[in-house]
Amino acid sequence: MINNGFNNRINSGGQTLKGPRKIAIANKKGGVGKTTTTINLGSALAKLGRKVLIVDGDLQGSLTSWLNLGDNVNGRDLGAILTGIIPFVDAIFEIEEENFFAIPIDNSLNELKLNFNGDGGWEMALKRELDNWPLGYDYILFDCPASYNAILINILAASDEIIIPVQTEILSLNSTLSFLENLSQIKQSINPTLEIAGILPVMFDKRTRHSKEILEIMAEAPNLGNHLFKTVIRNNIRLAEGPMRSRTIFRASPSSNGAVDYMLLAEELIDQENNESNDENIISEVAISSQSENNNSGDALKPPEF
């Protein structure tokens, strides 16, 4: 399940290392903890000694606001990267935690939309930028929009893997199954190596029967269960308070259940690198199913509207 990446880097001993794991945190349903997961998983990985870059790919700018970067962007953001105004490395900000960096998003998106309405190749803008720089990160995590738009497609085209947070309730689960069909189009059209790092149950409330039932359904479902993280993110008020304090869970409440859960998730993600899976990837299976149902799967991918 683990990809090699396309950016090699050299450590101090002259050894060639694998490029960063580029992971999209995505689900087309809003309110399932994509931003919370991007920030707190990134912080946990950094605390475990990994160098981490998180990228705000959501037009709402929740990650940018959470980290209190909005007043300092000054054109150094994801939109400026995608339109070719600045190189990728010029949009990187340091965060107040060791080994932790971020790229914000700003309101340069009218220009971005015009660019994407032009000639072909728009969906590879971010991947081309990443290819141009020897990035010395272990992980690049992308906070994705809930909308199926041009920014999401660019992120999925540039990523090796995807983490799909799923709230343990029926509407979120149903939306995830639909989202997998969108991923199959991306895999067929522009990124055949895109794989699932894991499906992440979030906002789990052990006090409710419904939450327990949905978790059981996810674990027992064909294909889904094979890609379910062992870690479950429990419902925790400290996680919800993070944006108010402009802090990660490890600075705001390091002994909380939220901090414990995201540290376990980070450890599980790192463990994957020594335990590659031989399971057929669920995106491929959905792609085959979608192709049999739709004869237009080979059509050119068009940029969706914002």
Report yes or no: 289 and 185 within 8 Å, Cβ to Cβ.
Answer: no
Instruction: Please tell me the distance from the alpha carbon of residue 258 to that of residue 43, in angstroms, as a whole number.
Output: 12
For range 68-81, the mean pLDDT:
88
Instruction: Please tell me the distance from the alpha carbon of residue 232 to that of residue 263, in angstroms, as a whole number.
Output: 11
The answer on pLDDT for 198 being more than 60 is: yes
Strands, E, within 40-160: which ranges? 52-56, 93-94, 100-103, 139-143
pLDDT in tens, 221-257: 877 888 999 999 998 888 888 777 788 999 989 999 9
Instruction: Please tell me the distance from the alpha carbon of residue 161 to that of residue 119, in angstroms, as a whole number.
Output: 27
Average pLDDT value over all residues in the chain: 81
Distances (CA, A) of 195 to 86, 161, 205: 29, 5, 28
**What single-letter DSSP state applies at residue 279?**
S
* Nearest C-alpha neighbor of 75 from the set 89, 90, 65, 57: 90
The total number of residues shown for the chain amounts to 306
Report yes or no: 80 and 91 within 8 Å, Cβ to Cβ.
Answer: yes
pLDDT in tens, 140-157: 999 999 888 889 999 999
Distances (CA, A) of 121 to 82, 85, 116: 12, 17, 9
Fold of 20-290: Rossmann fold (3.40.50)
* Nearest C-alpha neighbor of 100 from the set 125, 129, 66: 66
The answer on pLDDT for 211 being more than 50 is: yes
Instruction: Please tell me the distance from the alpha carbon of residue 238 to that of residue 242, in angstroms, as a whole number.
Output: 7
Instruction: Please tell me the distance from the alpha carbon of residue 84 to that of residue 100, in angstroms, as a whole number.
Output: 25
Asked whether the CA dihedral 192, 121, 156, 76 is positive or negative, the reply is: positive
Q: Which of 2-16, 34-48, 232-246, 253-267 is least confident?
A: 2-16
Angle between helices 257-272 and 237-245 (to 10 degrees): 90
In this prediction, residue 193 has a pLDDT band, given cuts at 50, 70 and 90, of very high
**Residue 138 neighbours by CB under 8 Å, 6+ apart:** 20, 21, 45, 50, 51, 52
The answer on pLDDT for 306 being more than 60 is: no
In this prediction, residue 108 has a pLDDT band, given cuts at 50, 70 and 90, of low
* Global pTM value: 0.84
Domain boundaries, the chain: 20-290
